[in-house]
Amino acid sequence: MACRQILRNLSFTILRKQGLNRSVSYSRSIATVQRQKRDYLRWKTQATFVRTMFIQTQDTPNPNSLKFVPGVQVLESGTIDFPNPQSSACSPLAKLLFRIDGVKGVFFGPDFITVTKADDDLDWQLMKPDIYATIMDFFSSNLPILTDEQPSSDTAIHPDDDETVLMIKELLDTRIRPTVQEDGGDIVYMGFEDGIVKLKMQGSCTSCPSSVVTLKSGVQNMLQFYIPEVLGVEQVEDEVDDINKLEFEKLEKSLEEKAGKSPET
């Protein structure tokens, strides 16, 4: 009886140890799989972070301009405007965005990209997927935003600036431009002559229906309040902008004439 009990106890002990060994081995297998899974997910997350980056869009006062916020730095400082494809030679990203049908203008800020479409008839819902894909693919390529040196700020201080110009530039930089940039645009200082401050609108402010109101009611009032020498504000357009506007008006007039001559059905 004693021998049988001893054999039974030994058998039970052996089986229990085998079970424990299987449990330990099984636990180790689970731990290995979980570790490998964590490593894979970590690698996958790092490899596809930019590809799956979350891009926010924000409306601007201009219905034809949309602000895209990729969640990463776009420019180290300042802003850059690309009003047409010809002006985008120094930026690979701007070039790619101009390849999208309907894109009229591109504007870069420190942490956002403003895209302006050609006209009201174009649907943002149809353009957004291509814009999202272009931005995500570009940031995953690690290419530089700009290939050439960034242009100097229009409000940079120059030795020949008088006291009034210095105050105008400081007020633009500290009070006016930050507010305008929040709406995806910018205001460029073009000069001060005979009491008139000449400014150029960029980004979402270009062709914005409320740009004149912004200049007169906002910018002009603030400049005149702090700087008595300022008599008014004038919006300036580049020669290229004037030519493009003139050609568009000619085309629009031609289409209207053709429509008027077409026989009624």
Q: Please write the tens of the pLDDT for every residue from 11-54.
A: 555 445 455 455 444 444 555 656 665 655 544 443 344 456 88
Identify the CATH class of 56-141. alpha beta
Sign, CA torsion 12/14/15/16: positive
Q: Report the pLDDT value the prediction gives residue 133, as an integer from 0 to 100.
A: 94
Token readout for 206 is 């270009």
Residue spans per domain, the chain: 56-141
| 254: pLDDT strictly greater than 90 | no
Counting every residue written for the chain, the total comes to 265
Q: What is the DSSP letter of 236?
A: -
Per-residue pLDDT band at 236 (split at 50, 70, 90): confident
Token readout for 47 is 């490899």
How many angstroms separate the CA atoms of 178 and 173, rounded? 7
| 96: pLDDT strictly greater than 90 | yes
Average pLDDT over residues 224-251: 70
| 115: pLDDT strictly greater than 90 | yes
For residues 184 and 113, the answer to whether their CB atoms sit within 8 Å is no
Average pLDDT over residues 193-203: 87
Closest CA to 192 of 172, 174, 209, 206: 172
pLDDT in tens, 118-128: 988 999 999 99
